[in-house]
Structure 1
């Protein structure tokens, strides 16, 4: 068995280096060496890529739990939970995309797998950002139209936002596979191959616009919350400690949400505008890795802190434990 493996490796190496020796000048030698390297299915593992894969696994695990809790609990069908479910689905796909990128990059590298993995990442992260915007819009409308924002209207608005989120995100993810890539023109490549410079700049500008809109909406939400607190104080002729604590807690939560979103995505967005493919790749990794953390933090902010989802997770865990105990009880004991 070992002799066959050695013979196979020797034949493979001889075939590869024969292509290099056939090159007639330095340019052809470089091209031949590049083609030889591309034939190796096991590229050396980059620690940064390994970090992305580990982060993707954590993201996929967290958001799978959120999706399972929402699907398992019939009471979690309100518009707010549908938006949280959309966000969890987008983040789940982002986690899977990071895992697939690692697999395709180091086990089966090719142009097709590169387009597929990068397209999935673009679509999933775009859907995640758009879902965050949709949640912000829903919260603003629910406060601004507190009396007229009925369940019917809320559901219709929610469905429209979810459909728009996934249609736009899917189109953005399909653009590289449809031809908007730099596979045939390396000079047009951005800091993330095979995305072009124009594509990555478009994504960065879009994020900055989304962030500006979210900042404006959260500012309006804070004003509405403070105005409601003042109205309550005038009705009761004093501002109780509970009202003050609730208002401050609500504003602090909004600041944490917006601050986390900006801290995760702003470095990569700015670097996408000023960075170039000639820059050291460590800058790309150092700015892109924090952006992926946003998908790991989203379940904590939007799902695990929600009391209804906490109850659903508890019931789900208890149900699994009960099923496991019942199955063991039905198993005949050893004689």
Structure 2
């Protein structure tokens, strides 16, 4: 009996800790971008969008996952809508990552025309489109692609035990959600980052013997591209296990997937939301400096040290590149 009580209690504490870390870390991401004008460029607009999605994971998804795990009774479409929220937030994350990859690709592919083509206004429009598309794809089960028919004859007011697999069809999760809206965007991102690194390496090799503004530009682009590629890698590592297990259950109904593995996959998907702020803090210097200044000023009651500004800006370098 004590063992049975300890495991749910430990799981609850771990999920609560992840939710708090996700909310606090990603709120700091938004604050850092708002405080530091040098970070208010198109790329960080998408990073803020990603941070908002991760905040929603901590505020909505994890608490809902805890509630659903308790097996409460509710109406079918209420449970379905709560399950769709997870899909919406996940989809907004991966579309934000795709937008970041496209942005960085354009930045190294057409550096001289980048600021003309990719304006801040267009970046905001792209962020809105990411969220609109996320809502449209995530709410598809609400218009019919769900497990309502599998429940037999029951009225809309009838109550069920709310579980994700009870209301969500696995063919939707595998074919539409995973293959269509996870595998395809991830593949595009891998191709884009591969091309980004190829272009940067080629440009650096051409100027290996010279030190100029273009060298500084591509060196900074290479460093930031590595950091953002790491974010994509962590997303794939954290989310692919649960999707792969869904595929196993769908294509091989007789195959047994241990519940421990399933819970671990769900747990990893939640952990992902708390990882991105750490990547930014450890990998992006300007972000880290601003975060330290905020910590000193707000938590240690010390005045923030002024950040030295460069006297000149390289011809090909945007203001964010000078400071990263």
Please say whether Structure 1 and Structure 2 have the same fold, judged by a TM-score greater than 0.5: yes
Find the aligned partners of 1:321 and 1:250 in 2 and give their Cα distance: 28
1:184-333 to 2 correspondences below 5 Å: 184-186=149-151, 192-201=165-174, 202-205=176-179, 206-233=181-208, 235=210, 253=227, 256-276=230-250, 279=256, 280-302=258-280, 305-321=283-299
Which deviations, in whole Å up to 9, do the C-alpha atoms of 1:175-194 show, x marking residues without a partner? 3444433244159x997342
Asked whether the 8 Å contact 1:191–1:275 carries over to 2, the reply is: no
The equivalent position to 1:69 in structure 2, one of 32, 51, 55, is: 32
The equivalent position to 1:180 in structure 2, one of 112, 121, 145, is: 145
Does the residue aligned with 1:313 lie in a helix, a strand or coil? helix
Structure 2: stretches of 5+ with no match in the other structure = 1-6, 153-161, 304-324
Change (3 A) 1:306 1:167: same
Change (3 A) 1:244 1:81: closer
Residue 141 of structure 1, CA deviation? 0.7
Larger Rg: 1
Residue 90 of structure 1, CA deviation? 0.6
Counterpart for residue 22 of structure 1: none
Change (3 A) 1:302 1:160: farther
Find the aligned partners of 2:70 and 2:114 in 1 and give their Cα distance: 51
Counterpart for residue 74 of structure 2: 110
The equivalent position to 2:62 in structure 1, one of 87, 91, 98, is: 98
Q: TM-score, normalised by structure 2?
A: 0.71
Which deviations, in whole Å up to 9, do the C-alpha atoms of 1:23-55 show, x marking residues without a partner? xxxxxxxxxxxxxxxxxxxxx948656644432
Does the residue aligned with 1:110 lie in a helix, a strand or coil? strand
Find the aligned partners of 1:263 and 1:59 in 2 and give their Cα distance: 17
The equivalent position to 1:164 in structure 2, one of 121, 129, 135, is: 129
Moved more, 139-148 or 95-104: 95-104
Residue 133 of structure 1, CA deviation? 1.1
Does the residue aligned with 1:233 lie in a helix, a strand or coil? coil
Change (3 A) 1:318 1:251: closer
Residue 207 of structure 1, CA deviation? 0.5
Asked whether the 8 Å contact 1:59–1:295 carries over to 2, the reply is: yes
Find the aligned partners of 2:73 and 2:24 in 1 and give their Cα distance: 25
Q: TM-score, normalised by structure 1?
A: 0.69
- More relative contact order, 1 or 2 (CA 8 Å, 6+ apart): 2
Find the aligned partners of 1:64 and 1:107 in 2 and give their Cα distance: 31
Which deviations, in whole Å up to 9, do the C-alpha atoms of 1:211-267 show, x marking residues without a partner? 11011001101101111111112557xxx9x99998986776466444323322222
Moved more, 73-82 or 56-65: 73-82
- The count of corresponding residues between Structure 1 and Structure 2 is 277
Moved more, 248-257 or 61-70: 248-257
Find the aligned partners of 2:229 and 2:47 in 1 and give their Cα distance: 19
1:137 equivalent in alignment to 2:102: yes
Q: What's the C-alpha RMSD, in Å, of the aligned pairs?
A: 3.7
Asked whether the 8 Å contact 1:181–1:194 carries over to 2, the reply is: yes
Residue 155 of structure 1, CA deviation? 1.9
